[in-house]
Amino acid sequence: MTDFPKNAEEARTDRDVTREELTETLDALGKKMDVKTRVNDNLDAKVDEASAKISEKVSEPAAEKFRQGTDVVRANPLPIFAGALALLVAIRLILRKRSSS
């Protein structure tokens, strides 16, 4: 623990250092609490990985089409993921109906 400041100048310096530390701490906490940005960053990383792997396996025109598709997903991910979720639910319902027959 630090000693109590002996004069006003030390008190101001101590106050300013404490404010800097608190600002850095709050910024770090804010970044951790920003789930949407963290998810988007993670999604971007995964899409970049997939794009790189696809580019290695397919022809250049097909890889370019895939990159265009990933740009569409990045620009508007919610409808894409909602559609994918709806498709998965529909497939599961169809499979469940077939297995009960």
Report the C-alpha gap between 71 and 43 in whole angstroms.
Answer: 12
Alpha helices by DSSP H, 1-101: 8-33, 35-57, 60-75, 77-100
User: pLDDT for 22-37, tens place per residue?
Assistant: 999 999 998 888 888 8
Torsion sign, CA atoms 46, 51, 56, 57? positive
pLDDT at 3: 74
What is the tens place of the pLDDT at every residue in 50-83? 778 887 888 888 888 888 887 887 787 788 778 8
Whether residue 2 is predicted with pLDDT greater than 70 in this model: the reply is no
Which tops the pLDDT comparison, 59 or 19? 19
Question: Which tops the pLDDT comparison, 98 or 101?
Answer: 98
Residues whose CB is less than 8 angstroms from the CB of residue 40 and which lie 6 or more positions away in sequence, other chains included: 77
Instruction: Give the per-residue pLDDT at 24.
Output: 94
Q: What is the mean pLDDT of residues 84-91?
A: 91
CB atoms near residue 77 (< 10 Å) = 14
Give the pLDDT band (50/70/90) at residue 90: very high
